[in-house]
Amino acid sequence: MDPKKKPVILPYVTVQPDWVDVIKDVGKGAPPEVFWVSYYRGGEKSIHGSIKVTSASEGVSVEAMDGATFEQISEVSFATGCERLDLPRLTVKNPVGTYKLEEKLPVNALDVSPGEELYVVGSDNGYMAVYDANNGALLRKLEGHVGDITACRFFPSGQVILSGATDFRLKIWSVADGSNPVTLQGHTSAILDTAIVSKGRNVISCSKDGTVKLWECGSSSLIRNLAQHSDPVNQIALDTIPPLSFEKKSDQPSLDSREVETVDKLLALALQSGSVRGVDLGSKAEILKVFSHGYAPVKSTALCSSKNLLALGTANGVVEIFDLRNTKQRAAMFRRNDAGIEALEFLDDGDEPGLLVGTADGMCSQYNISSYDQIHAVTEYVGSDLDAIRGIRKLPSGRLFTGARDGFVRKY
């Protein structure tokens, strides 16, 4: 990889978070109002436009001013772009549901059940709870951790939850009654992320202590350490090993009797020291190593085996994409600003793969990555005002849930 190659600087747009309310208020008879739309690109002069909203005989009339463009699509979305900064037309979406935690706490972790009926949120001081995904109603608190919750994840059944926290422990919970039948202990520092293998007989955890551990849930036992590093493993991603991407090892060790469906799985580890390592979960061998631009700390990672893709996001705002069939060269590298990349999720929609990116300054964006030379945002999910996005879940129905440091879960 060429160390002198720099990330492509992409333009982006921000919008006044309550623009939907502005239009509604004017439509109900309020005096004319204005909301702002701003366009940015690193190294170039920003454009701070505005949209004037006035009442009309049928609804409202909108006028784009000062370099802004505006084409309303629905009550909660509009299209915009900026030719001067080479920002192609994209869609800006506000949430259709906004749900705040009862207590004044941030969202540290978020997941949505496979059936899309529930979501679980993890926060500070051991707070974790299950909510109704339709209306945000609190259904059950899960009490037992004594540290901040850093990870929470539904098992494929949707009836069980795996959590990790700064108290060094993993816990498994019943959604039905809130009981905690299993606690997994062995880390010597904060849990930072988790993964569930197949149906959930085995789970994986990574920690600030630099270890990655494989566990069996039924016996509450550690099967083995999958990795031991001298720096934190900030995040992990698990997927099947893509065909023809890696050479098969002829000397694969026999599996522990407690392992279930660990063969042909690839586990990506995002390291604070500036690399992503790939571990063959069956052989336990490290089969992949890529370094981030400038060896910046890697905050997030994602895999898409069907498209042979790996993505990483750094603490200084760079997103890098690799083809797993040739990781010696980056397929693409881009950034918008210096805000850290907190969350990544591939969208495997037919022939055109997409990538969701959540940032430390509250941006959640969907990118078209079908052409590495022309990567661009196609949707901006707005609502968080500079508060870090800590969780992204795009669902088969097309719904998107995000969780942010401002304590809100947003549904799009």
Q: pLDDT tens-digit profile of 379-409?
A: 999 999 899 999 999 999 999 999 999 999 9
| Residue of 99, 96, 97, 94 lying closest to 35 (CA atoms) | 94
Give the pLDDT confidence of 6-44 residue by residue, as tens digits.
999 999 999 999 999 999 999 999 999 999 999 999 999
| Residue of 392, 347, 402, 393 lying closest to 370 (CA atoms) | 347
Contact 201, 260 (CB under 8 A): yes
pLDDT at 253: 67
Cα gap 395→412, rounded to integer Å: 10
pLDDT at 81: 98
pLDDT at 249: 56
Contact 55, 61 (CB under 8 A): yes
184-to-163, 168, 223 alpha-carbon distances in Å: 10, 9, 11
pLDDT at 245: 73
pLDDT at 352: 74
* Residue 304 zone, left/alpha/beta (φ > 0; ψ -120 to 50; rest): beta
* Residue 331 zone, left/alpha/beta (φ > 0; ψ -120 to 50; rest): alpha
Which residues does the chain have with pLDDT short of 50? Answer: none
Pairing of strands 12-15, 33-40: antiparallel
Cα gap 313→359, rounded to integer Å: 9
pLDDT at 252: 64
Cα gap 220→369, rounded to integer Å: 41
Give the pLDDT confidence of 295-316 residue by residue, as tens digits.
999 999 999 999 999 999 999 9
pLDDT at 350: 67
pLDDT at 340: 99
Residues found in the chain? 412
Contact 78, 72 (CB under 8 A): yes
The DSSP symbol for 31 reads P
In sequence order, the β-bridge partners of residue 172 are 162, 182
Pairing of strands 160-165, 149-154: antiparallel
Neighbours of 227 (CB within 10 A): 18
pLDDT at 103: 80
pLDDT at 348: 81
Q: What is the mean pLDDT of the chain?
A: 96
